[in-house]
Structure formats: C-alpha cells, structure tokens
C-alpha cells in the first residue's frame, strides 16, 4: 500500500544533524579545492544562499532527468528510439512557446505516444490539447487522457468534460469529428494565452526552472569529475544525501559560471567583466569550453546516438510501419467481414422468400384465391398470403382495408374507426368495447328477475279490492244502505263475487249499479259505466236519475267511486260537462 505521508502523527521527534555535519565537511572540502584552483570567491558571496540554490537546482535537474529518461524509455519500448531523441528537444522548445512546463508536457506526450504509436499524430493531438487546456482552464493531463481514450474509440470521456461536446453527441461522434470540432472551437487559444501577462510570467518561471535544471545538471557533472570515480552512485545512495552534498559543495563549475555573470559591480563593471578583462578576455569562455569538453567526454550529454543507432532507428521505424500496416489490415478485414455478413443476411432473406413457393400453407392460400371468393374474402386471403411471405407492410395495408369494410358491423359493437387510425388502434377500441359489453352482461346477470312481474301487482290489487269491499260492507251495516257494487259480479246463482283485476284489464268492466239511496230516498239513482266497445281504454259514465232524487252527497260519492275504479283499471278519464 502506498504511504500517504501527511496522514501520520509523529510521536517524539528528534533532531538529526547528520546532514548539516556532512554539509559542513563538504563545504570545507570545496574550499580547499578552490584554494587549489587559485580562486577565492566564496568569501564575497553568501554560502547559505548558494547552498539553498544548489540544492534546489540539483533536485530539479534530477526530477527533469528522471522524466526525460522515462519518456525516452517509452519511445524505446515502442520501437521509436529515434523519435525519442527528437521528442525531448521538441518538449524543450514547446514549453517556451506554449508556456506549459516540461514536467506537464512529457507525461502528456508519453501517454499520446503509447496510444497512437505515431509521433506526428501525438504532436497534433498534444497541440489540440494545449489549445483546449488554455481555452477551458482544465489541466493538460485530464484533457490528454480524454483525447487518448477518444482515439481508441471511447469518446464518452469527452462528453463529461464540458468542452462543447455533449453526452449524447459524444456517444456517436468519431475521433476525427471531435478533433475538428475542438480545433475549430479552441484553435489558437494556447498562443493567445502565451501572449498574456500571465503567460509571460510563466515563461520567466519556466526559463528560470530550466536554468536551475541546467545548473543542477552541471553541478552533478562537476562533482562527478571532482570525485574521480565519475559515477553518481559512488557519491551517495539517494538524491536527498546527494543534493545535500552538491548543495554544500556549492560552487561547481557551471554554478561558478552563472555567478560570475551576475551583476556584482565594482566601479561600474560586473565581476564577470573584470575577470574577463583580467584574464585576457578568454577566462569565462575558456571555462565554459572546458565545461563543455568535460561534459562531452564524460558521455553525459544527450546525443542522437552512438554508431549503429541510425540503422537501429531505421529498423525500429520499419517495424513500427509494419505494425501499423497490420493494424490497418485488421480493420479492413473487419469491414469486409461485416459486409459479408450483410450480404449473407440478404441472401437468407431472399431464400426465405423463394422457399415460400414450396410452403403448403401458401399453396393453399393461392389455390383459394383462384376460387370463387367475394371481395372481402379475397382481401383476407391476400393479407394472409402477405403474412406468409413476410411482407408485413403489404399485410398491414390489406388488413386495414378489411377492417374498414367491416365498419358497419363494427358500429353496432360501438367501435368507430376514425380516418388515419391504424389496425393497432382499432384492435384497442374493439377490445375496449367488448370488455364494456362483457361487464354489462355480467352486471345484468346479477339482477334478480321475478317469474311474473305483474302477478304480485295483480295480487296486491285484489287485496285492495277485498279491503274496499269490507269497508263498503261496513258502511252498509252502519247506514243500512243498498250495496254499491261495481266491483262485484253476480254469479250464476245470483251471489255476488269479487271480480278479478284481470277482468278489468281484459275490457270487461264491472257495471256499477247503485241501488241504494243515500240520504233516505226510496229509490236510487243508476250510475252506469258503459265501456266503449271500440276503445277499451275509455268509458262513458251515464248518470241516470231514475226514481227519487238522491242527495247530492250520494251522487258525488257514486260518481267518484266509479271514476276511481276506472282509473284503477288504467282507463283514461276525460272530464267534460254538459249542461242539462
């Protein structure tokens, strides 16, 4: 598991002055060496600032060298050693033009090289990434990663980055289209950013970093030369101790060159100018030449290669070309395979259609069509044939025609097919109407249905008549009046019987004969109901006043009773009066 140094609690620290002691010893050693060279410059300068500067310089050189070697190794592994040597120079120049430090550019280029296997392509994508980074403010690392993934076919990362390519678009867009879009949208942004004040400050920062790295490199070389075994490993195991030693050594050959050119003035002239003049003008240049020679002879300077490197590079380039050609071939083969598959599917469909002539069901349908069939049946058969031959478009159209022909029958089912509706919608409507009908039927089945709906009514009317009779008998007994019957009939023996309601309904109306005189008269008034022979629903009431006049009350009662009876029978009563 990687250690995360900031998630720790240190218990009981102790001060370790080993480094400082080593620094002090190395400083003493260097002082002696300067005395041997005959130059005593350290007295005029601050040792502490030199130490700090040199420590930083060496560390930065070490980090830069590490990154450069990793990039070179990447190129080597991909068989692009020649381009690897060019790449570092390209990076060194690009950082000044784009104002992006080389420690950002190298990982980005490394990732693109691993993805594209082509230095030119990687350069193009890196330029686009620099423009997008300058335009959006996003890190070069994130944009390079997204573009690498897009190059390999995974463009969804571009949709997540808010660089003008939406999520849905990112799923369908190709890499070339995405690059075109980005270049049109963000082209030139890096150059614009470089011209801004911030860009110029960044340039100064990069330049000073490069200077420190360069000095650091030369400090390392100087110490190696001084240590006589000429290897870094001979001096220390890790960079921390090494940097301490170098820093405390302070004044290596290259550092001295830088310091000499600072503007430390004596009488208006720089220290460098004074020494230059004192040493006959060639001191600085001679030192620089010496440094350059020492660097070259030690073999530490980066060159384009030893003998045989060109041939090897040519071999590697040829291998890479071969790999690219194979990759292209694979893509071509895949395309061919896809085309073959489409052709086969087409043939299979044609074969299926051809096979329908041997299909028994199809033969039967065709035979039926040749027979005597009406228009609608012909349409149905043709639709069936279209289904058999998998011609679904034609089948749908024919089915639609059949359904429209059935429109009158469908209307009775409560289904109306509107213009423009298709079969699916029709079927939905049909199902819905049939479902409602079925529901109604189920509800109707639950209703209780009596055996004879009128029987109970007739029975209750008979009961009512019975009660009326009893009331009348009672009245007779009380008033000793003659019976008023209308609801009674005389049987064969002359006994009164109660007529049933059926007799009323059938048109036989009971004659209501009033033989009683109400109010004490000796003779009564006849009130006859003469049923109409033609219209059983009407009855003419004739009041014959024969005999003694009955009282008004008796007459009213008689007429009223007759009217009630007629109404019960369902006869319409029309009132009219005739003056006598």
Partner 1 sequence: MSGVIELKKALKQYSPDLLKEMNGEIRTALKEVTDAAKAKVPGSAPGGLYNWQDDGRESKSRTSRERPFPKYNSLIVRRGLTYSLGTSRPNSRGFSALYSLLNKSAVGAIIETAGRKNPYGSKDSQSNNPNAGRRFVAGMSGVGSLKQYSNSQMSRGRLLFAAYVENQGKALDAVMKAIDKTAKKFNERSRTHNERASAYGNVA
- Applying CB under 8 A, the residues found at the interface with partner 1 are 1-4, 6-20, 139, 141-143, 145-146, 157, 160-161, 240
Q: β-strand 269-270 against 526-531: which pairing, if any?
A: unpaired
> Smallest gap, in angstroms, from Cβ of residue 188 to partner 1?
23
DSSP state of 47: H
Interior angle at CA 76, CA 71 and CA 80, nearest 5: 100
* Contact predicate 475/524, CB 8 Å: no
* Contact predicate 135/185, CB 8 Å: yes
Closer to partner 1 by CB, 141 or 210: give it. 141
Three-state DSSP state, 266: strand
Nearest to 513 by CA among 522, 525, 500, 531: 525
> Smallest gap, in angstroms, from Cβ of residue 145 to partner 1?
4
The phi, psi pair for 431, rounded to 5°, reads -65, -40
Closer to partner 1 by CB, 12 or 354: give it. 12
Closer to partner 1 by CB, 13 or 441: give it. 13
Nearest to 98 by CA among 123, 65, 71: 123
Beta bridge partners of 514: 484
Closer to partner 1 by CB, 205 or 240: give it. 240
Closer to partner 1 by CB, 97 or 139: give it. 139
| Two tokens, residue 558 | 């008689």
> Smallest gap, in angstroms, from Cβ of residue 240 to partner 1?
8
Enclosing H/E stretch for 530: strand 526-531
* Contact predicate 251/34, CB 8 Å: yes
> Smallest gap, in angstroms, from Cβ of residue 125 to partner 1?
15
The phi, psi pair for 513, rounded to 5°, reads -105, 120
> Smallest gap, in angstroms, from Cβ of residue 24 to partner 1?
13
> Smallest gap, in angstroms, from Cβ of residue 150 to partner 1?
11
Closer to partner 1 by CB, 18 or 263: give it. 18
> Smallest gap, in angstroms, from Cβ of residue 108 to partner 1?
12
Distance between CA 174 and CA 171 in Å, rounded?
A: 9
Nearest to 130 by CA among 70, 81, 199, 66: 199
Closer to partner 1 by CB, 52 or 496: give it. 52
Q: What is the sign, positive or negative, of the torsion defined by CA atoms of 566, 567, 571, 572?
A: positive
> Smallest gap, in angstroms, from Cβ of residue 148 to partner 1?
10
Closer to partner 1 by CB, 7 or 419: give it. 7
Closer to partner 1 by CB, 171 or 344: give it. 171
Closer to partner 1 by CB, 114 or 482: give it. 114
Nearest to 44 by CA among 270, 239, 219: 270
| Two tokens, residue 236 | 């220390």
> Smallest gap, in angstroms, from Cβ of residue 247 to partner 1?
12
Distance between CA 150 and CA 139 in Å, rounded?
A: 17
> Smallest gap, in angstroms, from Cβ of residue 238 to partner 1?
9
Distance between CA 261 and CA 118 in Å, rounded?
A: 43
Closer to partner 1 by CB, 138 or 274: give it. 138
| Two tokens, residue 447 | 């209703």
Closer to partner 1 by CB, 82 or 151: give it. 151
> Smallest gap, in angstroms, from Cβ of residue 320 to partner 1?
25
330-369 per-residue burial string, b: 16 or more CB within 10 A, e: under 16? eeeeeeeeeeeeeeeeeeeeeeeeeeeeeeeebeebeebe
Nearest 10 degrees: CA dihedral of 250, 255, 260, 263?
-90
> Smallest gap, in angstroms, from Cβ of residue 160 to partner 1?
7
Nearest to 236 by CA among 62, 393, 385, 384: 62
Three-state DSSP state, 207: helix
């Amino acid at each position: 598991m990687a250690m995360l140094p900031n998630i720790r609690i240190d218990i009981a620290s102790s001060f370790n002055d080993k480094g400082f002691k080593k620094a002090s010893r190395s400083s003493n050693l260097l002082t002696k060496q300067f005395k041997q060279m005959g130059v005593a410059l350290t007295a005029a300068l601050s040792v502490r600032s030199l130490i700090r500067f040199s420590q930083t310089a060496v560390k930065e050189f070490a980090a830069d060298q590490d990154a450069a070697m990793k990039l070179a190794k990447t190129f080597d592994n991909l068989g692009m050693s020649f381009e690897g040597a060019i790449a570092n120079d390209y990076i060194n120049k690009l950082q000044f033009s784009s104002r992006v430090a080389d420690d950002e550019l190298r990982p980005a280029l490394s990732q693109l090289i691993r993805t594209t296997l082509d230095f030119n392509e990687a350069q193009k994508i890196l330029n686009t990434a620099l423009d997008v980074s300058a335009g959006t403010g996003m890190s070069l690392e994130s944009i390079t990663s997204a573009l690498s993934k897009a190059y390999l076919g995974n463009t969804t990362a571009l949709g997540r980055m808010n660089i003008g390519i939406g999520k849905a678009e990112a799923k369908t867009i190709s890499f070339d289209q995405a690059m075109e879009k980005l270049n049109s949208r963000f082209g030139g942004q890096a150059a614009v950013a470089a011209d801004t004040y911030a860009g110029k400050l960044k340039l100064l920062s990069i330049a000073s970093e490069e200077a420190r790295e360069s000095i650091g490199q030369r400090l390392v070389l100087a110490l190696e030369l001084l240590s006589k075994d000429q290897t870094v490993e001979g001096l220390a195991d890790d960079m921390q101790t090494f940097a301490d030693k170098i820093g405390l050594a302070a004044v290596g050959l290259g550092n001295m060159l830088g310091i000499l050119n600072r503007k430390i003035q004596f009488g208006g002239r720089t220290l460098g100018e004074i020494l230059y003049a004192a040493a006959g003008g060639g001191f600085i240049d001679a030192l620089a030449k010496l440094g350059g020679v020492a660097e070259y002879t030690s073999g530490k300077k980066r060159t384009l290669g030893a003998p045989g490197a060109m041939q090897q590079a040519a071999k590697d380039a040829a291998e890479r070309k071969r790999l690219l050609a194979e990759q292209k071939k694979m893509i071509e083969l895949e395309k061919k395979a896809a085309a073959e598959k489409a052709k086969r599917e087409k043939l299979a469909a044609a074969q299926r259609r051809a096979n329908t002539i041997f299909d028994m069901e199809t033969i039967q349908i065709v035979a039926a069509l040749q027979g005597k069939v009406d228009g609608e049946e012909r349409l149905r058969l043709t639709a069936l044939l279209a289904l058999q031959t998998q011609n679904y478009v034609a089948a749908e159209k024919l089915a639609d025609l059949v359904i429209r022909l059935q429109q009158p029958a469908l209307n009775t089912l409560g289904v109306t097919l509107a213009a423009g509706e298709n079969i699916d919608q029709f079927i939905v409507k049909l199902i819905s109407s049939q479902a409602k009908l079925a529901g109604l039927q189920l509800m109707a089945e639950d209703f209780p249905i009596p055996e004879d709906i009128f029987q109970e009514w007739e029975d209750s009317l008979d009961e009512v008549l019975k009660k009326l009779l009893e009331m009348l008998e009672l009245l007779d007994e009380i008033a000793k009046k003659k019976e008023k019957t209308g609801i009674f009939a005389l049987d064969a023996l002359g006994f009164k019987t109660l007529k049933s309601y059926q007799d009323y309904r059938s048109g036989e109306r009971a004659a209501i004969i009033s033989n009683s005189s109400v109010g004490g008269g000796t003779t009564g008034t006849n009130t006859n109901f003469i049923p109409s022979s033609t219209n059983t629903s009407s009855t003419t009431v004739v009041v014959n006043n024969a005999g003694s006049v009955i009282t008004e009350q008796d007459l009213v009662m008689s007429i009223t009773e007759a009217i009630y009876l007629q109404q019960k029978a369902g006869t319409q009563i029309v009132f009219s009066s005739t003056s006598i």
